[in-house]
Amino acid sequence: MQIPEIDRDECLEFLSKLVQIKSYSQTDGELEATGFMAEQMKNIGLESELAPFDGGKRQNALGIWRGTGSSTQATRTPKTLLFNGHLDTNPVSEGWTIDPWEGKIDDKFIYGIGVSNMKSGCAAYFCAVKTLMAAGWRPCADVILTYVVGELQGGVGTVALIEQGKIKADYFINCEPSDIRAVTMHAEALTFEITLKGITRHMSAREEAQDAIMAACRLIPELNAMTFRGAKSKDHEKCNRCQVGIVHGALGKELVEWRPAQVADVCKLAGSARYAPGQTQKSVMEDLRAVIEKCLENFPGMAFELNQRFEPTMPAFEVSPDSTLVKSLNDAYFQVRGENQPTGVLAPTCFYGSDAGHLYKTLGMEGIVCGPGGKYNTRPDEAVDIPDYLDCIRMFMRVIVDICG
């Protein structure tokens, strides 16, 4: 089949409209965004529905482009393909110089809160399907479009679709921002909390104290440099990272701050550990404990508590670079750009969590993470390169034709 060319202006205008919907996570804006996508899918002829969850307070949107069931391929049986992306966004931070909800377009970028994470990916697969439908092409196997919310709370929207039995496909593409590179593995995350308990004295006698803040200053670089036991390969080890993001030291368990002339005897830290498929929460926590114990040998009398904070999180994900889907995406990239697609365990995306983990772990689905955006992700004046967005649409059309027949 001759792949049709996209309507550049129409694709950009559609993404701009999606950005203009203020869909902060866990607000009514989610309902507006999912309602908008359900309507748009219905308008182009897809089977479209809204799937409420969380007692009806939240909802996902999904659409199905039904296949004909008859194959035109002599070499391979057509397979069903699911696209997955989230419409909820982070809040706007300080530092923006443009209107976060304008959906501004210039000659290089399209801007807005959530445009990279990840409304450009969501718009890309909608525009790919719309362009193919307008050209008169029909798939032999189903193409499923899912637009979820709650990804920012550990993927509760995709989990809801799974529990409702609404997700079933041979392959998936999760469109988290990867700068349209093919990411074949990402980490799982756990959150840990450490409380250091030292010995206080007035600053005049600080030689007799054990300063919990000083211990934290020694410990944090060691934690941030960690990798973890049990990585199955060098590629799996690439997914290992540890980062302390919260530090609070003061007096007593209440962290009293009005007496800075006294040596801090308590310091609380919290951080995140990222680890690969095959590594476990248990072994990661054991490794953290070993590093803490070794560091605190330099602080006699310093005690500590280490706890895991249990909260919704994303499972790890991996796929073989030799997967049929990965090869199809690689071929599509080459056809569009004339060069090989970067593929593998690629930073920074390999440290993200994504709904790919739920599809992989819970349903055993084979998939890939690939979407526009990334370089300017989750920051003031968030933006996506226009060529990446448009080329992603072109790539997705080719993958749909190749995989779905």
pLDDT at 267: 98
Asked if pLDDT for residue 15 goes beyond 80, the answer is yes
Express each pLDDT in 282-333 by its tens digit. Answer: 999 999 999 999 999 999 999 999 999 988 788 999 999 999 999 999 999 9
Crossing angle for the helix pair 120-134 and 29-43, nearest 10 degrees? 10
Distance of CA 25 to the CA centre of its chain: 14
pLDDT at 312: 78
Asked if pLDDT for residue 371 goes beyond 70, the answer is yes
pLDDT band at 69 (very low <50, low <70, confident <90, very high): confident
Residue 369, strand partner residues: 174, 183
In 3D space, the residue among 55, 63, 57, 62 whose CA is nearest the CA of residue 31 turns out to be 57
The DSSP secondary-structure symbol of 346 reads: -
In 3D space, the residue among 245, 236, 223 whose CA is nearest the CA of residue 187 turns out to be 236
pLDDT at 74: 54
pLDDT at 71: 67
Asked if residues 110 and 15 have their Cβ atoms less than 8 Å apart, the reply is yes
Express each pLDDT in 214-258 by its tens digit. Answer: 999 999 999 999 999 999 999 999 999 999 999 999 999 999 999
pLDDT at 6: 98
**Cα distances (angstroms) measured from residue 101 to each of 147, 156, 327:** 19, 25, 37
Edge-first strand listing for the sheet containing 171-174 = 47-53, 58-65, 143-148, 81-86, 171-174, 366-369, 182-183, 343-344
Residue type, position 165, single letter: G
State mean pLDDT over 138-142.
Answer: 97
Q: How far, in Å, CA of 344 to CA of 335, rounded?
A: 19
pLDDT at 1: 79
pLDDT at 135: 97
pLDDT at 73: 60
pLDDT band at 72 (very low <50, low <70, confident <90, very high): low
Tokens at residue 370, please? Answer: 């690939």
The DSSP secondary-structure symbol of 186 reads: E
What percent of the chain has pLDDT above 70?
99
Q: How far, in Å, CA of 15 to CA of 8, rounded?
A: 11
Q: How far, in Å, CA of 179 to CA of 183, rounded?
A: 10
Summary mean pLDDT of the chain: 96
Residue at token pair 């039904």: 66
